Chain A
Amino acid sequence: MGRAKLPRKSTTIDMTAMCDVAFLLLSFFILTTKFKPSEAIAVTTPSSVSSKVAPSKDFVLITIDKDGKVFLTIDDKQKRETIVNSLNATKNLGLDVAAFKSANFIGAPFSGLASFLAITEENRKGNQLPGIPCKDSTNNELITWMQVVNDAYAGTKMDLLLKGDNLAKYPAFKGVLTAFKKNNIQKFQMITNPENAPAGSELYKKSMAGEKQEN
Chain B
Amino acid sequence: MAELDTSGGGHKKKGPGVKKGKKLSTRVDLTPMVDLGFLLITFFIFTTTMSQPTAMKLLLPDDKAKPEEQNKAKESGALTILMGNDNHIYYYEGQLKVDASNFLSASYNGENSIRDVILKKKAYVRSIAQDPNDPEHDLVIVIKPSSTCTYKNVIDILDEMSINVVKKYALVDIFDIEEQLVKKSDENSKSSSN
- Min C-beta distance of B33 to chain A, whole Å: 5
A33 to B46, CA, bound (A): 10
A204 to B44, CA, bound (A): 33
Total A-B residue pairs with C-beta atoms closer than 8 Å? 172
The answer, yes or no, to whether B98 is at the interface (CB within 8 Å) is no
Report whether A15 and B60 are in contact in the complex, using a CB–CB cutoff of 8 Å. no
The answer, yes or no, to whether B107 is at the interface (CB within 8 Å) is no
CB < 8 Å neighbour of A186 from B60, B156, B165? B60
CB < 8 Å neighbour of A48 from B49, B52, B159? B159
The answer, yes or no, to whether A177 is at the interface (CB within 8 Å) is yes
- Min C-beta distance of B164 to chain A, whole Å: 6
Which A residues lie within 8 Å of B55 (CB)?
50, 52-55, 161, 189-192
Report whether B164 and A19 are in contact in the complex, using a CB–CB cutoff of 8 Å. no
Which A residues lie within 8 Å of B164 (CB)?
201-203
Tally of contact residues, A, Cβ under 8 A: 64
The answer, yes or no, to whether A169 is at the interface (CB within 8 Å) is yes
CB < 8 Å neighbour of B57 from A33, A36, A187? A187
A16 to B37, CA, bound (A): 12
Report whether A169 and B151 are in contact in the complex, using a CB–CB cutoff of 8 Å. yes
Report whether A15 and B53 are in contact in the complex, using a CB–CB cutoff of 8 Å. no
Which A residues lie within 8 Å of B162 (CB)?
48-50, 203, 213, 215
Which B residues lie within 8 Å of A193 (CB)?
51, 53-54
Chain B interface (Cβ within 8 Å of chain A)? Answer: 29-31, 33-34, 37-38, 40-41, 44-45, 47-49, 51-63, 83, 115, 145-156, 158-159, 162-165, 171, 173
